[in-house]
Homo-oligomer: A and B are copies of this chain.
């Protein structure tokens, strides 16, 4: 930790800060002294709140030197994490597609969606059984019946299941059906939930919170890893800004930033970011171009009749057309992507 004193800091203030630092157990070393005193303080614990020093008289600025996470950083593991999920390597060279409806509504709906996405090379079926809805009057999901359908239909089309878990008490149940736990953006800092999925061995797909900094997002991944589960996949899905033309602002810069700091795979969900299906395709192309390890996209057999998020769900022909475009972009950036029909039954 570096403590920068104000230019007008008195000797007494510097002594008082030094004393306080030592009382907190730091080893203090005064540094450069052009116009002001700077104190180096070695031995800070990860949970030390630097504001304790910031509020002292005469202090101008405090900077933490050591990173506040242990497992998610490249200091812990330099090479990329690759997670093998039933034969699909997430975080490797391949650009992985996860697709399906927002909510599981019926076997017919889900089966149609699964067939369509599998035929185009997607390897994961997404679908919500428990739905976080901002209105209590909206469709809240089919619950366990939805989980059963996901498993059955995914197996039929040789797909893996990714579905959201919303609360710690659902973890066991959802774990019986899912290959990947999805943690939604609104739950990115639901710490009880992070610990609960962290105690399992099922991979965790952690969406970035609407107003989460990249650092906070990585700290949430750290919760999962510190609980024992190293299989975390990050997913950028748009942040909240002043711009209201799109549902959220997709922060594609986050992909190279996270890749630089962390070894974990990074996905992009353009559907939730933009909120309107006509904008999904160009942003999906951009996500592949920027270097995402995979995408999560909403597709529905009849979007105008979808019980949730229909307006941002693609029609089947749009999905096919998008996949065709994405394969070209993936090739342009030197990454493989499954061909159409390859994984379909």
- The CB with the most chain B CB atoms within 10 A, among A136, A139, A332, is that of A136
Find chain B residues with CB under 8 A from A291 CB. Answer: 282
Asked if A175 CB lies within 8 Å of chain B CBs, one says no
Known contacts A135-B68, A186-B190, A191-B132: A257-B246 contact under CB 8 Å: yes
In the bound complex, do residue B277 and residue A55 qualify as a contact, i.e. CB atoms below 8 Å apart?
yes
Asked if A118 CB lies within 8 Å of chain B CBs, one says no
CA distance A189 to B331 in the complex (A): 40
Contact with B along A261-290 (1 / 0, CB 8 A): 000000000000111111100110111111
Contact with B along A214-256 (1 / 0, CB 8 A): 1110011011001100000000000111111110011111111
Which of these binds chain B: A31-39, A86-94, A103-111, A148-156? A31-39
Contact with B along A68-81 (1 / 0, CB 8 A): 11000011001000
In the bound complex, do residue A282 and residue B278 qualify as a contact, i.e. CB atoms below 8 Å apart?
no
List the number of copies, as a whole number. 4
CB distance from A275 to the nearest CB of B (A): 7
Which of B43, B63, B136, B222 lies in contact with A223, CB distance below 8 A? B136
In the bound complex, do residue B47 and residue A40 qualify as a contact, i.e. CB atoms below 8 Å apart?
no
Asked if A311 CB lies within 8 Å of chain B CBs, one says yes
Find chain B residues with CB under 8 A from A209 CB. Answer: 211
CB distance from A90 to the nearest CB of B (A): 20
In the bound complex, do residue A78 and residue B8 qualify as a contact, i.e. CB atoms below 8 Å apart?
yes
In the bound complex, do residue B55 and residue A311 qualify as a contact, i.e. CB atoms below 8 Å apart?
yes
| Chain A to chain B contacts (Cβ below 8 Å), 24 pairs | A7-B67, A27-B32, A32-B40, A33-B42, A34-B42, A38-B65, A49-B311, A51-B311, A51-B312, A52-B304, A68-B135, A132-B189, A136-B222, A213-B243, A240-B240, A243-B251, A245-B254, A246-B253, A246-B257, A250-B252, A253-B279, A256-B283, A329-B329, A329-B333
